[in-house]
Amino acid sequence: MVAEQTQPPPSSRTRVRREPHRGRYDRATIDAVLDAALVCHLAFVDDGQPFAVPTLHARVGDVVYVHGSSAGRALRALAAGAPACLTATLIDGLVLARSVFEHSVDYRSAVLLGRLHAVEEPGEKLAALEAFTEKLLPGRWAEARSPSRKELAATSILAMPIEEASAKVRSGPPGDGDGEDAALPVWAGNLPLIRAWGDPVPDPALRPGIPVPASVRNLLGSDTVSASRDGAVDGIR
C-alpha cells in the first residue's frame, strides 16, 4: 500500500480525491509513469463535443510531446489553445479479492492538465521526433532514415509543459483481508501482469540478408537473433 504523500499537489485541480493515500505529486513518480507508458490519451472539447484521443508521446525534461498529421482535427484544436487533459496508465496486475466488490487492479497513472502549443522551430521538431523514436525502441533513430522535409512539413508536433500533474498508484493485497470476508473459503491475492516482446517478424518485402538490428536484439536481451537468407527470423536461442 502506498503511504500518504506529504508533498502537496501543484493545484486543487490535480489533488487526488478518491483514495487520496494513493496520490503522488513528486516529479520522479509522474515522470516514471510517462516514460514507461507507450500510449497516452488526450482529452479536450472541440465545438462542444468531448474527445479522448489515444496517441504516442515522449517526455523530454519538463515537456511532453505528442504528434500527428498536420491535417488532423484533434491537433488543430489543441494547437489553438483548447484546455487539455493528458493521461497515461500502466496496469501492473489483477487484485483478486474474496468478494466481488473488492476486486481491483494494481496500476500506475499520471494526469497532466494544461494547454499545448505547436512546435515550429525545426531543431526542436527534429529532437521531438528523435525522442518519439527512441522511446519506442532505444537505438532505432540511428538505424533508420531521418525524416525528409516533406515528412516534417506533414507532421504536427505539440508540446505540453508539465506544470499541473499528479500520479496515482495502487499496489498491495486485496482490501478484504482484515474484515469478516477473511474467513471465506475463497482464494485471494495478486496476479502480476508480465509484459514480454515476441520474436521479431520481418516485413515480407524485406530484402534478403538484412539482419535483425542491434536495437531489437538489445530490447529482447539477446545477441543471437539472426535473419536467414529470405529474411525470416531464425529465432532466439
pLDDT, residue 231, reads 42
**Average pLDDT per run of 10 along the chain, which is 237 residues long?**
60 88 93 97 92 95 89 82 95 96 96 95 92 97 94 91 96 89 94 95 96 96 51 38
Q: What number of H helices and E strands is found in the chain?
A: 5, 12
CATH number belonging to domain 12-176+187-192: 2.30.110.10
Predicted confidence at residue 6, as pLDDT, reads 57
Domains of the chain, by residue range, sit at 12-176+187-192, 197-237
Residue that has been written with the C-alpha cell 521531438 in this structure? 128
- H-helix or E-strand containing 124? helix 122-136
Quickly tell me which residue has 482484515 as its cell: 178
Mode of pairing for the β-strands spanning 104-114 and 189-192: unpaired
Q: Are 229 and 214 in contact (CB under 8 A)?
A: no
Q: d(Cα 96, Cα 105) in Å, to the nearest integer?
A: 8
Q: Could you tell me the three cell numbers for 197?
A: 516482446
